[in-house]
């Protein structure tokens, strides 16, 4: 598609989401982003699903922006129109 709305962004996934995690990870990468396994001060967003655990707490501690699934779809432009 050539669209890279996530270019240079690091998005950490935590919790249970409506799509398989590997699929979401592939989507993030295809949109130009990175999908690190842990939260750091260089993380742009944490995509938090149901039962998000320690990564969510770490994000809140570091002041990293939290996305829910709807927010993620808005950010990536992948929501149902």
Rounded to whole angstroms, how far apart are CA atoms 73 and 50? 16
Output the pTM of the full model. Answer: 0.91
DSSP reduced 3-state for 52: coil
Beta-carbon count within 10 A of 1 CB: 6
Question: Counting Cβ atoms within 10 Å, is residue 32 exposed (0-12), middle (13-18) or buried (19+)?
Answer: middle
Query: Quick check: 60 pLDDT over 60?
Result: yes
Mean pLDDT for 18-46 is 96
Q: Read off the pLDDT of each residue in 16-41 and give the average, rounded to a whole number.
A: 96
Provide the pLDDT for residue 20.
96
- Determine phi and psi for 16, rounding to 5 degrees: -95, 125
Residue 29's pLDDT band, with cuts at 50, 70 and 90, is very high
Contact call for residues 47 and 67 (beta carbons, < 8 A) = yes
pLDDT of 1 over the 60 cut:
no
């Amino acid at each position: 598609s050539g669209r890279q709305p996530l270019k240079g962004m690091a998005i950490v996934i935590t919790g249970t989401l409506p799509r398989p995690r590997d699929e979401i990870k592939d989507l993030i990468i295809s949109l130009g982003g990175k999908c690190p396994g842990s939260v750091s001060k260089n993380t742009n967003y944490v995509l938090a699903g149901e039962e998000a655990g320690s990564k969510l707490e770490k994000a809140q501690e570091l002041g990293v922006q939290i996305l829910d699934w709807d927010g993620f779809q808005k950010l990536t432009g992948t929501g149902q129109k």
